Structure formats: C-alpha cells, structure tokens
Amino acid sequence: MSFLLIFFILPYLCTSSYPYGLIRNASIKIPLDMNDDRGHILKSQDCNQCLCNAFSNPKVALFTCTQNESINVTCQFYYFMPIRDEIQYPNVYTNIYLIQTNETFEEKDDCCNTTTLINKINEALRTKENVTTGPLRTLADGDNNTIITVASHRDDSEKRILLKFDKSTFKPVDIPKISGLKAAGYYDEHYYLGTDGNIYVYNKNLSTLLHTITSIGAINAIRFIDKTQEMIVGTAGNGIYVCRKDEVKGYLINCTLIPRIYNDEQLHAVGVVNENAFYVGWDDTDPGIHLYTRNPRDNTWTTKDNDKITHGYETSDIIIDNCKRIWAVVAHGDKVIIYGQNKTVLGAFNVVDKSLFNLMIAENYTLIMSHGSNNGLTRIKPDLNCRPLR
C-alpha cells in the first residue's frame, strides 16, 4: 500500500551528477495499490541531498521534494514515470525532480504547449527589462556568455558598431570599436562581422582582423550550423551564401552562393532547423517563408514550393525552438507569429514597442529582443516549467 523503504542516512557528497529536470510547485498523487519496490522515502536536510541519492540509484525515475513546517524536507522517490494526470499543480510546498530525463510527461510541458507559452509571454511582457537605446539589428550569442548586436544607423556608418552584453546580468561589456557593420555572428572562437559588402573575421577578443571575405553584398543575417560547421549568410539583393571552413585558415570563409528563390530583395531572416534544413524570410510581404534542404549526395541546397509557409508579412527574423515550432518576427509589425511543423499558425503575440526586429530564445524561454527604433534591447522572463533538453 505504501512506500516501505525509509532511509535516514545521507550521502554527504554526490559522487556523480547528471542533468535533471525540475517542475516547480507540483507534486504527484498516485492512485493506491503501489507495490513495495516502486519507490522509497528519504528525509533529508535539503533537496540537493535527495538528488545525490537519486543519482546513485539507477532505478529512480523522478522524486518529489516537499518542505513542510519542519526544517527538513521529505523526498518521495519513484521508480517509474507517473502519467500526466497524476501531477498535482500547483502545490507550493513541493517540487518534482526528473532524473531520467529521456522520459517525460509529454503533455505537461508548459513550454511546448503554445497556449500556455503565449499566456505566460503576454504576462511577462508587462515587466520588461531594457538596456541601451537606439536602433539595433542582429542578435546572436557571443563568447563568454554574452549576446552581440549591432547599432543600426542608416546614414552614419561610423555609428554602426558592434555591441556586446552579458547574457545573465544584461549589462554592457566593453569591446573595441568596430564600425561600418550591419550584422554579426560568433562561432568557434571567431567573430564574423558583416558590412555593406564584406565579412570581417575577427579573433575572440576582437583585437585582430584575421581575414576579410570580400564582395558578397550587404550582409543582413549571419547564422551557423553547428554540426556541419557552416555559416549561412543572408544579403540584400545578392542571395544566400553557405560558407564552409577553409581547412588551411580554419575559419568559415569558403562561401558558395546557393540557388535563389526570390530575386533582389532584402533577405533578413535565417532560421536553422538542423544540419540539413533552414528557413529564410525577406523584408517583403510576397514570398512567405521558405525552407532550404540539403541534398546529402552532392551537398547542394534546394527548396521546393510545397515547403513554403504562407506568411503574408515582411519577416525580420526566424527562430526554430526546442519544440520544433517556427517563430517568425513580423518586421514593422511588432508581432511574432508561431507556426507548427505542419505550417499552420499555432499562435501569435504582440510586442508593444516600436520596430521589434530580432528575437532570441534563451534558456527557459527568456526572450531577448532587439528593436529597430530607439528601444534598444529588451528582455522578458516568462514564468514557465520547461522540459529539460535532451
């Protein structure tokens, strides 16, 4: 009827630790009839000690850690995954720790549930953090837990400089002044900085210009495919390039133009799906959003008409999230539309600032946004329980 084994002896330190999931303010209520070897209880000083116990027992699928009046906590370990309906939420005294992170409550993830996600985003939009002023373009991860963006001044190239911020504190980080920029990216210890015609390759501390990729057009977007070490470059009127590593120099500078879909327009948005697919979008309402896929036989990229998402808006950014949804930022619209894998609209939200331009989905669906107007960089932190990454 109940859990029999009760341990009072605690390991002092974990000899091993692994990634785990955490669902806050939730407990589990299992219908009766549990047999004896399907769990155990541990009274402990804190939840971390229960984690040690869980990591040292391969049978544990998850446990709950409950803090009641006493200073100690009670951990209930389970050797199986309860089903979604067995999760009780909210329960402010208890957290659920998911140990076998390859087994999940599929339906109970707030983050892949687009309805919940958008509700939480809309709540969080009321308390936005901001940093810097002035128009910005580009949003990418930099080195050392930073984000980078570029000040966007159409008429003053001197002011179009690279800016860097600490991703955790959201505070500016000092860097050398590099101007004349339009877009930026960081990959494998190198910065790739796009101008009106070239891409500069800089070292990690931005002290040395290592190489210039010349004459590929005004650079609007720079994205990377980690697994295959490729850089996708979107330009204004000159199409899309895929740049591979130059084996001698070691940077991604061996660039090839891939077939165009839509001529002579500003290609602003590149959203990488995986090593064999990425979406692109333009500063134009006609073309929609197109998917390019790799032909593995000859490593060329092609696109098919039926891979298109009908999207009658200008697109300034595209992001693919962990739930395989496609987020499209509507340029000049302060709106984000979220599409599912079957190309239907799952939901949308509005950002009241002027000129939302780029979007970054950081850990736990923290959204970082750059604005083309004077709103600089903003950040919101929706209160969500996300399933751990695999």
Q: How many residues bind ligand NAG (CB under 6 A)?
A: 44
> Cα–Cα distance between 325 and 338 in angstroms, integer?
7
Only segment of 22-30, 147-155, 221-229, 321-329 that touches ligand NAG (CB under 6 A) = 22-30
> Cα–Cα distance between 38 and 316 in angstroms, integer?
51
Q: Note whether 37 binds ligand NAG by CB under 6 A.
A: no
Only segment of 66-74, 147-155, 224-232, 277-285 that touches ligand NAG (CB under 6 A) = 66-74
List the one residue from 33, 155, 247, 305 that touches ligand NAG (CB under 6 A).
Answer: 247
218 vs 361 by CB, closer to ligand NAG: 361
Single-letter residue type at 300: T
Q: Note whether 16 binds ligand NAG by CB under 6 A.
A: no
Residue of 195, 243, 189 lying closest to 217 (CA atoms): 195
List the one residue from 45, 56, 285, 302 that touches ligand NAG (CB under 6 A).
Answer: 45
Residue 334 beta carbon to ligand NAG: minimum distance, rounded to whole angstroms: 15
Question: Following DSSP, what letter does each residue of 65-111 receive, concatenated?
Answer: EEE-SSSSEEEEEESSPPPGGGEE---TTEEEEESSTTS--GGG-TT
> Cα–Cα distance between 51 and 62 in angstroms, integer?
10
List the one residue from 3, 10, 38, 170 that touches ligand NAG (CB under 6 A).
Answer: 10
Structure token pair of residue 310: 């009908």
**CA angle, corner 74, sides to 69 and 79, nearest 5?**
155
Cis preceding linkage at 388, omega within 30 = no
Residue of 95, 87, 82, 92 lying closest to 23 (CA atoms): 95
Q: Note whether 229 binds ligand NAG by CB under 6 A.
A: no
Q: Note whether 133 binds ligand NAG by CB under 6 A.
A: yes
**CA angle, corner 258, sides to 253 and 262, nearest 5?**
130
55 vs 262 by CB, closer to ligand NAG: 55
Q: Note whether 17 binds ligand NAG by CB under 6 A.
A: no
Residues 356-375 that bind ligand NAG (CB under 6 A): 363-364
Structure token pair of residue 268: 């602003």
List the one residue from 376, 379, 380, 382 that touches ligand NAG (CB under 6 A).
Answer: 376
Q: Note whether 340 binds ligand NAG by CB under 6 A.
A: yes
Residue numbers at the binding site for ligand NAG (CB under 6 A): 10, 22, 24-25, 43-45, 66, 68-70, 72, 90, 92-93, 100, 102-103, 107, 113, 115-116, 130-133, 144, 166, 203, 205, 207, 244, 246-248, 254, 256, 340, 342, 344, 363-364, 376, 383
